[in-house]
């Protein structure tokens, strides 16, 4: 895809506080932090930044990440496992980065993304109407 | 609060496609659209814009809105009713607007917000570390 090289960057936010419903001893590294570690030690696609964040407040349905980028819808995905979903996430982030609006075509969209979208938020756009008008 | 007048604007995004788990005849106005109507016909706080959006993808847990503003965490809230939660939403939006970071102090936070946060996404900030570094 010729647009790829010109694509704007994308950011993969990872909730590093997530316990993924497990009992974690106080001094153990949490599943969310381990997901972050595993992503950072993998082959992250060009133009994708992996960012640790504190609590995306999907605590009942973690691990949780968000994908965002300039001009694009932000997507929040849950039910991720720190060991088995790393490749899925990186592949999905690469596809997301190739979009201009954040909408990965349905047929290309990873199955996990199809089934575990927690919420999405539209890109910032110029106001279409006056405030409170 | 003296900061109020200088506060940056806030935006209340309302999913107007939401069926709120109900069976809606094809030509009826959906609960999400009626929530939007009810908000717009109410006394919207200064500096708060109410914006209709198409599907925030919390379809199992609607009605759904998002609150966002410059420099602030974006919050997504669900389980709202188009008739009975309008005042709660407008009050919460006013409190949100008064914050600089989007974090309404816990004691002030509406009970509905405490119990029905679907997810939140941090504000855009300068990268703290090199991409993939």
For each of the domains in chain A, give its residue range(s) and CATH number, in order of start: 10-132 (3.40.30.10)
Which chain A residues contact residue B74 at CB under 8 A?
74, 121
Q: How far is B37 from chain A (nearest CA, A)?
A: 11
pLDDT on residue A3: 47
Mutate to test the interface with A, among B7, B113, B121, B130 (most CBs of A within 10 A): B121
| Max CA separation in chain B (angstroms) | 53
Q: Which of A92, A55, A76 is nearest to B66 (CA)?
A: A76
Nearest 5°: the CA angle A27, A28, A33 is 120
Residue of A nearest to B129 (CA): A51
ipTM associated with this complex: 0.87
Which chain A residues contact residue B128 at CB under 8 A?
51
pLDDT tens track of chain A, all 133 residues? 444 456 799 999 999 999 898 888 777 899 999 999 999 999 999 999 999 999 999 988 999 999 999 999 999 999 999 999 999 999 999 999 999 999 999 999 999 999 999 999 999 875 444 343 3
Which chain B residues contact residue A120 at CB under 8 A?
55-57
| Cα–Cα distance for residue pair A20/A15, rounded to 1 Å | 10
CB atoms within 10 A of CB B26: 4
| Cα–Cα distance for residue pair B128/A45, rounded to 1 Å | 19
Smallest Cβ–Cβ distance between A76 and the set B40, B119, B127 belongs to B119
Tell if the CB–CB gap between B48 and A13 is shorter than 8 Å.
Answer: no
Tell if the CB–CB gap between B49 and A117 is shorter than 8 Å.
Answer: no
| Cα–Cα distance for residue pair A11/B58, rounded to 1 Å | 22
Tell if the CB–CB gap between A119 and B57 is shorter than 8 Å.
Answer: yes
Mutate to test the interface with A, among B119, B122, B131 (most CBs of A within 10 A): B119
Summarised one tens digit per residue, pLDDT across range B95-132 is 999 999 999 999 999 999 999 999 999 998 754 443 43
| Cα–Cα distance for residue pair B56/A116, rounded to 1 Å | 13
Tell if the CB–CB gap between B132 and A50 is shorter than 8 Å.
Answer: yes
Mutate to test the interface with A, among B55, B132, B133 (most CBs of A within 10 A): B132
């Amino acid at each position: 895809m010729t647009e790829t090289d010109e694509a704007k960057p994308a950011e993969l936010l990872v909730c590093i506080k997530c316990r993924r419903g497990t009992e974690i001893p106080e001094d153990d590294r949490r599943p969310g932090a381990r997901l972050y570690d595993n992503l950072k030690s993998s082959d992250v696609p060009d133009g994708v930044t992996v960012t640790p964040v504190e609590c995306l407040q999907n605590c009942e349905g973690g691990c949780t990440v968000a994908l965002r980028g300039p001009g694009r819808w932000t997507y929040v995905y849950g039910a991720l496992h720190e060991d088995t979903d790393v490749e899925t996430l990186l592949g999905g982030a690469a596809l997301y980065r190739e979009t201009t609006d954040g909408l990965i075509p349905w047929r290309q969209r990873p199955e996990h993304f199809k089934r575990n979208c927690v919420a999405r938020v539209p890109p910032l756009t110029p106001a279409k109407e006056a405030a409170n008008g």
